[in-house]
Protein backbone atom coordinates (compact mmCIF):
# COMPACT_ATOMS: atom_id res chain seq x y z
CA UNK A 1 0.00 0.00 0.00
CA UNK A 2 1.15 3.58 -0.56
CA UNK A 3 2.91 5.51 2.18
CA UNK A 4 1.08 5.71 5.46
CA UNK A 5 -0.39 8.89 6.88
CA UNK A 6 1.50 11.03 9.35
CA UNK A 7 0.16 11.37 12.92
CA UNK A 8 -2.49 14.05 13.41
CA UNK A 9 -0.16 16.73 14.83
CA UNK A 10 2.21 16.40 11.93
CA UNK A 11 -0.72 16.67 9.53
CA UNK A 12 -1.36 20.26 10.63
CA UNK A 13 1.81 21.38 8.94
CA UNK A 14 0.73 19.70 5.72
CA UNK A 15 -2.71 21.31 5.57
CA UNK A 16 -1.68 24.85 4.71
CA UNK A 17 -3.95 25.02 1.69
CA UNK A 18 -7.30 23.49 0.73
CA UNK A 19 -6.98 19.90 -0.41
CA UNK A 20 -8.69 18.55 -3.46
CA UNK A 21 -6.98 15.38 -4.63
CA UNK A 22 -9.28 14.00 -7.32
CA UNK A 23 -6.94 11.27 -8.52
CA UNK A 24 -8.29 7.74 -8.44
CA UNK A 25 -5.30 6.11 -6.79
CA UNK A 26 -6.03 4.40 -3.43
CA UNK A 27 -5.46 6.67 -0.45
CA UNK A 28 -2.58 5.74 1.86
CA UNK A 29 -3.27 4.30 5.29
CA UNK A 30 -2.52 6.42 8.37
CA UNK A 31 0.31 5.92 10.80
CA UNK A 32 -0.55 4.32 14.10
CA UNK A 33 -0.87 6.77 17.00
CA UNK A 34 1.62 6.19 19.76
CA UNK A 35 -0.53 7.22 22.73
CA UNK A 36 -2.25 4.64 24.89
CA UNK A 37 -5.92 3.91 24.34
CA UNK A 38 -8.84 3.65 26.72
CA UNK A 39 -9.70 0.01 27.37
CA UNK A 40 -13.45 -0.21 27.28
CA UNK A 41 -13.72 -3.93 28.03
CA UNK A 42 -10.96 -6.36 29.08
CA UNK A 43 -10.13 -8.74 26.27
CA UNK A 44 -10.28 -11.79 28.54
CA UNK A 45 -13.96 -11.15 29.32
CA UNK A 46 -15.01 -10.43 25.74
CA UNK A 47 -17.63 -12.71 24.21
CA UNK A 48 -16.56 -13.08 20.58
CA UNK A 49 -20.09 -13.90 19.52
CA UNK A 50 -21.63 -10.64 20.71
CA UNK A 51 -21.67 -7.07 19.51
CA UNK A 52 -23.21 -4.17 21.39
CA UNK A 53 -24.43 -2.88 18.02
CA UNK A 54 -26.39 -5.98 17.05
CA UNK A 55 -29.84 -6.67 15.65
CA UNK A 56 -31.88 -9.84 15.51
CA UNK A 57 -32.35 -11.07 11.98
CA UNK A 58 -34.97 -8.93 10.24
CA UNK A 59 -36.99 -10.19 7.29
CA UNK A 60 -35.05 -7.99 4.87
CA UNK A 61 -31.67 -6.24 5.02
CA UNK A 62 -30.19 -4.10 2.25
CA UNK A 63 -26.48 -3.22 2.39
CA UNK A 64 -25.12 -0.20 0.52
CA UNK A 65 -21.46 0.58 -0.13
CA UNK A 66 -19.40 3.78 -0.41
CA UNK A 67 -21.29 6.98 -1.36
CA UNK A 68 -18.47 9.54 -1.48
CA UNK A 69 -20.30 12.84 -1.46
CA UNK A 70 -22.77 12.15 -4.30
CA UNK A 71 -26.31 12.92 -3.10
CA UNK A 72 -27.98 12.06 -6.40
CA UNK A 73 -26.36 8.61 -6.44
CA UNK A 74 -27.23 8.17 -2.77
CA UNK A 75 -30.91 8.87 -3.39
CA UNK A 76 -30.89 6.53 -6.38
CA UNK A 77 -29.53 3.56 -4.44
CA UNK A 78 -31.84 4.20 -1.46
CA UNK A 79 -34.82 4.14 -3.84
CA UNK A 80 -33.45 0.94 -5.38
CA UNK A 81 -33.45 -0.53 -1.88
CA UNK A 82 -37.08 0.52 -1.34
CA UNK A 83 -36.04 2.79 1.53
CA UNK A 84 -37.17 6.28 0.44
CA UNK A 85 -39.62 8.01 -1.87
CA UNK A 86 -39.14 10.99 -4.18
CA UNK A 87 -39.19 13.37 -1.20
CA UNK A 88 -36.53 11.46 0.73
CA UNK A 89 -39.15 10.16 3.21
CA UNK A 90 -38.71 6.70 4.70
CA UNK A 91 -41.02 4.16 3.03
CA UNK A 92 -39.09 1.01 3.95
CA UNK A 93 -41.27 -0.04 6.89
CA UNK A 94 -39.38 -2.76 8.79
CA UNK A 95 -36.49 -2.75 6.31
CA UNK A 96 -32.98 -2.54 7.81
CA UNK A 97 -30.46 -0.60 5.71
CA UNK A 98 -26.75 -0.92 6.48
CA UNK A 99 -24.38 1.55 4.83
CA UNK A 100 -20.75 0.52 5.19
CA UNK A 101 -19.13 3.95 5.56
CA UNK A 102 -17.29 6.49 3.38
CA UNK A 103 -20.28 8.75 2.91
CA UNK A 104 -17.90 11.69 2.67
CA UNK A 105 -15.02 13.04 0.53
CA UNK A 106 -14.57 13.08 -3.28
CA UNK A 107 -17.91 14.89 -3.80
CA UNK A 108 -19.57 18.17 -2.80
CA UNK A 109 -22.66 16.73 -1.06
CA UNK A 110 -21.17 14.91 1.88
CA UNK A 111 -22.79 17.05 4.58
CA UNK A 112 -26.21 16.52 2.99
CA UNK A 113 -25.64 12.78 2.94
CA UNK A 114 -24.63 12.69 6.61
CA UNK A 115 -27.72 14.68 7.53
CA UNK A 116 -29.98 12.53 5.35
CA UNK A 117 -28.86 9.30 7.01
CA UNK A 118 -29.25 10.85 10.44
CA UNK A 119 -32.87 11.78 9.64
CA UNK A 120 -33.64 8.43 8.04
CA UNK A 121 -32.38 6.55 11.09
CA UNK A 122 -34.99 8.31 13.23
CA UNK A 123 -37.80 7.77 10.71
CA UNK A 124 -36.94 4.12 10.17
CA UNK A 125 -37.02 3.31 13.88
CA UNK A 126 -40.49 4.83 14.19
CA UNK A 127 -41.66 2.55 11.36
CA UNK A 128 -40.10 -0.58 12.87
CA UNK A 129 -37.01 -0.60 10.66
CA UNK A 130 -33.51 0.77 11.04
CA UNK A 131 -30.73 2.59 9.22
CA UNK A 132 -27.25 1.64 10.40
CA UNK A 133 -24.44 3.77 8.96
CA UNK A 134 -20.89 2.68 9.76
CA UNK A 135 -17.77 4.84 9.96
CA UNK A 136 -15.27 4.31 7.16
CA UNK A 137 -11.69 5.39 6.78
CA UNK A 138 -12.69 8.72 5.20
CA UNK A 139 -14.86 9.71 8.16
CA UNK A 140 -11.95 9.02 10.51
CA UNK A 141 -9.48 10.79 8.20
CA UNK A 142 -11.54 13.97 8.42
CA UNK A 143 -11.63 13.77 12.21
CA UNK A 144 -7.83 13.47 12.03
CA UNK A 145 -7.72 16.63 9.82
CA UNK A 146 -6.67 14.73 6.71
CA UNK A 147 -8.59 16.66 4.05
CA UNK A 148 -6.77 15.56 0.90
CA UNK A 149 -9.96 14.18 -0.65
CA UNK A 150 -12.27 17.08 0.24
CA UNK A 151 -13.69 19.02 -2.72
CA UNK A 152 -14.03 22.82 -2.71
CA UNK A 153 -17.82 22.56 -2.54
CA UNK A 154 -17.62 20.28 0.48
CA UNK A 155 -15.62 22.95 2.34
CA UNK A 156 -18.24 25.60 1.54
CA UNK A 157 -21.04 23.35 2.84
CA UNK A 158 -19.73 23.79 6.41
CA UNK A 159 -19.25 27.57 6.23
CA UNK A 160 -22.06 28.19 8.76
CA UNK A 161 -20.12 26.60 11.64
CA UNK A 162 -19.64 28.95 14.59
CA UNK A 163 -15.91 29.04 15.28
CA UNK A 164 -16.14 31.14 18.44
CA UNK A 165 -15.03 28.23 20.62
CA UNK A 166 -12.77 26.57 18.06
CA UNK A 167 -9.60 24.96 19.36
CA UNK A 168 -6.18 26.41 18.46
CA UNK A 169 -5.50 23.37 16.25
CA UNK A 170 -8.54 24.31 14.16
CA UNK A 171 -7.67 28.01 13.97
CA UNK A 172 -4.12 27.13 12.86
CA UNK A 173 -5.46 25.70 9.59
CA UNK A 174 -6.05 27.50 6.33
CA UNK A 175 -9.20 29.68 6.69
CA UNK A 176 -11.02 27.64 4.04
CA UNK A 177 -10.55 24.48 6.12
CA UNK A 178 -11.44 25.76 9.57
CA UNK A 179 -15.21 25.31 9.50
CA UNK A 180 -14.97 21.72 8.28
CA UNK A 181 -12.21 20.99 10.77
CA UNK A 182 -14.35 22.40 13.59
CA UNK A 183 -17.24 20.17 12.51
CA UNK A 184 -15.20 16.95 12.34
CA UNK A 185 -12.68 17.54 15.14
CA UNK A 186 -13.17 15.11 18.04
CA UNK A 187 -15.93 16.60 20.17
CA UNK A 188 -17.22 18.72 17.24
CA UNK A 189 -20.82 18.52 16.02
CA UNK A 190 -20.25 16.11 13.15
CA UNK A 191 -17.68 14.06 15.06
CA UNK A 192 -20.37 13.54 17.72
CA UNK A 193 -22.78 12.47 14.98
CA UNK A 194 -20.20 9.96 13.74
CA UNK A 195 -19.61 8.76 17.30
CA UNK A 196 -23.03 7.12 17.22
CA UNK A 197 -21.98 5.05 14.22
CA UNK A 198 -20.16 1.76 14.82
CA UNK A 199 -17.03 0.52 13.14
CA UNK A 200 -18.44 -3.01 13.08
CA UNK A 201 -22.09 -4.06 13.32
CA UNK A 202 -23.96 -7.34 13.32
CA UNK A 203 -27.42 -7.89 11.83
CA UNK A 204 -28.62 -11.44 12.24
CA UNK A 205 -25.84 -13.75 11.10
CA UNK A 206 -24.08 -11.11 8.96
CA UNK A 207 -21.16 -8.90 10.03
CA UNK A 208 -20.82 -5.46 8.43
CA UNK A 209 -17.67 -3.34 8.30
CA UNK A 210 -16.02 -0.83 5.98
CA UNK A 211 -12.72 -2.62 5.28
CA UNK A 212 -12.71 -6.03 6.94
CA UNK A 213 -12.61 -7.93 10.21
CA UNK A 214 -9.58 -10.10 10.93
CA UNK A 215 -9.30 -12.79 13.63
CA UNK A 216 -7.10 -10.49 15.73
CA UNK A 217 -9.82 -7.82 15.72
CA UNK A 218 -12.31 -10.35 17.09
CA UNK A 219 -9.88 -11.44 19.79
CA UNK A 220 -9.18 -7.84 20.75
CA UNK A 221 -12.93 -7.26 21.00
CA UNK A 222 -15.27 -5.70 18.46
CA UNK A 223 -17.21 -3.95 21.22
CA UNK A 224 -13.91 -2.51 22.44
CA UNK A 225 -13.11 -1.27 18.93
CA UNK A 226 -16.51 0.43 18.68
CA UNK A 227 -16.25 1.90 22.18
CA UNK A 228 -12.73 3.24 21.77
CA UNK A 229 -13.52 4.83 18.43
CA UNK A 230 -16.61 6.46 19.93
CA UNK A 231 -14.55 7.80 22.85
CA UNK A 232 -12.09 9.46 20.45
CA UNK A 233 -14.79 11.00 18.26
CA UNK A 234 -16.56 12.38 21.32
CA UNK A 235 -13.31 13.97 22.51
CA UNK A 236 -12.98 11.75 25.59
CA UNK A 237 -9.83 10.06 24.31
CA UNK A 238 -6.80 11.88 22.95
CA UNK A 239 -5.92 9.69 19.99
CA UNK A 240 -7.82 7.31 17.71
CA UNK A 241 -7.42 3.60 18.50
CA UNK A 242 -4.24 2.26 16.97
CA UNK A 243 -5.81 -0.99 15.83
CA UNK A 244 -8.55 0.87 13.93
CA UNK A 245 -6.25 3.31 12.14
CA UNK A 246 -3.60 0.72 11.34
CA UNK A 247 -3.02 -0.38 7.75
CA UNK A 248 -4.69 -3.71 8.55
CA UNK A 249 -7.37 -2.11 10.74
CA UNK A 250 -11.09 -2.73 10.15
CA UNK A 251 -11.57 0.49 8.16
CA UNK A 252 -8.38 0.05 6.09
CA UNK A 253 -7.67 -3.61 5.37
CA UNK A 254 -8.31 -4.96 1.85
CA UNK A 255 -7.56 -8.57 2.76
CA UNK A 256 -10.94 -9.80 1.53
CA UNK A 257 -12.02 -6.91 -0.69
CA UNK A 258 -9.13 -6.95 -3.18
CA UNK A 259 -8.35 -10.41 -4.56
CA UNK A 260 -8.61 -12.93 -1.73
CA UNK A 261 -6.91 -16.29 -2.21
CA UNK A 262 -6.79 -19.46 -0.14
CA UNK A 263 -4.93 -17.90 2.79
CA UNK A 264 -7.20 -14.85 2.95
CA UNK A 265 -10.31 -17.03 2.79
CA UNK A 266 -8.88 -19.17 5.58
CA UNK A 267 -8.54 -16.03 7.73
CA UNK A 268 -12.13 -15.09 6.90
CA UNK A 269 -13.35 -18.55 7.88
CA UNK A 270 -11.60 -18.22 11.23
CA UNK A 271 -13.15 -14.78 11.75
CA UNK A 272 -16.67 -15.99 10.99
CA UNK A 273 -16.21 -19.07 13.14
CA UNK A 274 -15.15 -16.94 16.11
CA UNK A 275 -18.23 -14.76 15.59
CA UNK A 276 -20.59 -17.63 14.79
CA UNK A 277 -21.60 -15.70 11.67
CA UNK A 278 -22.31 -16.70 8.06
CA UNK A 279 -20.93 -13.81 6.04
CA UNK A 280 -18.91 -10.61 6.10
CA UNK A 281 -20.17 -7.62 4.09
CA UNK A 282 -17.72 -4.78 3.33
CA UNK A 283 -17.09 -1.73 1.14
CA UNK A 284 -13.82 0.23 0.73
CA UNK A 285 -12.56 -1.32 -2.53
CA UNK A 286 -14.50 -0.55 -5.75
CA UNK A 287 -15.54 -3.71 -7.59
CA UNK A 288 -15.91 -4.15 -11.32
CA UNK A 289 -18.34 -4.58 -12.96
CA UNK A 290 -20.35 -4.47 -9.71
CA UNK A 291 -20.94 -6.22 -6.37
CA UNK A 292 -18.79 -9.35 -6.06
CA UNK A 293 -18.84 -12.35 -3.70
CA UNK A 294 -15.67 -14.15 -2.63
CA UNK A 295 -14.63 -17.11 -0.51
CA UNK A 296 -17.67 -19.25 -1.44
CA UNK A 297 -19.98 -16.29 -0.83
CA UNK A 298 -18.77 -15.91 2.75
CA UNK A 299 -17.48 -12.44 1.76
CA UNK A 300 -19.50 -9.84 -0.11
CA UNK A 301 -17.68 -6.79 -1.56
CA UNK A 302 -20.36 -4.11 -2.10
CA UNK A 303 -18.43 -0.95 -3.00
CA UNK A 304 -19.39 -0.42 -6.65
CA UNK A 305 -17.91 3.07 -6.95
CA UNK A 306 -21.44 4.36 -7.51
CA UNK A 307 -20.51 8.00 -6.87
CA UNK A 308 -19.89 10.34 -9.81
CA UNK A 309 -16.18 10.38 -8.98
CA UNK A 310 -15.89 6.71 -9.99
CA UNK A 311 -18.85 6.28 -12.34
CA UNK A 312 -19.76 2.79 -11.09
CA UNK A 313 -23.20 1.17 -11.12
CA UNK A 314 -26.02 1.74 -8.63
CA UNK A 315 -26.25 -1.56 -6.77
CA UNK A 316 -27.05 -2.86 -3.31
CA UNK A 317 -27.00 -6.26 -1.61
CA UNK A 318 -30.31 -7.66 -0.36
CA UNK A 319 -30.28 -10.31 2.38
CA UNK A 320 -33.36 -12.41 3.17
CA UNK A 321 -32.52 -15.21 5.55
CA UNK A 322 -29.80 -17.30 3.90
CA UNK A 323 -30.40 -15.74 0.48
CA UNK A 324 -28.20 -12.94 -0.88
CA UNK A 325 -29.30 -11.07 -4.00
CA UNK A 326 -27.71 -8.18 -5.87
CA UNK A 327 -30.14 -5.35 -6.61
CA UNK A 328 -29.43 -3.29 -9.75
CA UNK A 329 -27.44 -4.11 -12.86
CA UNK A 330 -23.63 -4.00 -13.21
CA UNK A 331 -21.92 -1.65 -15.64
Q: Residue 203 burial by CB count (10 A; 0-12/13-18/19+): exposed, middle or buried? A: buried
135: nearest Cα among 236, 44, 208, 72:
208
* Distance, CA of 276 to CA of 269 (rounded, Å): 10
* Distance, CA of 158 to CA of 128 (rounded, Å): 32
Beta strands in the chain (DSSP E): 54-55, 61-64, 96-99, 130-133, 200-203, 206-209, 279-282, 292-294, 299-301, 316-320, 323-327
Rg (CA), the chain: 19
138 classed as catalytic: yes
Q: Do 87 and 258 contact (CB within 8 A), yes or no?
A: no
Concatenating the DSSP letter of every residue in 181-249 gives: HHHHSTTSHHHHHHHTS-SEEEETTEEEESS---HHHHHH-HHHHHHHHHHHHTTSSSS--HHHHSTTS
What order do you get walking across the sheet with 316-320 strand by strand?
130-133, 96-99, 61-64, 316-320, 323-327
* Distance, CA of 82 to CA of 76 (rounded, Å): 10
Catalytic choice (68, 138, 210, 217): 138
User: How many CB atoms within 10 Å of residue 22?
Assistant: 9
Residues forming the active site: 138
Amino acid sequence: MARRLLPCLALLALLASPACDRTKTPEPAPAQPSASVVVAKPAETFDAGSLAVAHAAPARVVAIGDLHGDLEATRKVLKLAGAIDEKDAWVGGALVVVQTGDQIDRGDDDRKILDLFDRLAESAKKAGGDVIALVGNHELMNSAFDFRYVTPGAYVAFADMNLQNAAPTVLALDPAQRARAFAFAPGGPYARLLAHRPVVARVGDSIFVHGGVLPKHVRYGLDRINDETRAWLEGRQKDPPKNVMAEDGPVWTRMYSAAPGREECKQLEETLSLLNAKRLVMGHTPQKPGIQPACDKRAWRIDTGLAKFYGGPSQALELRGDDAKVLGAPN
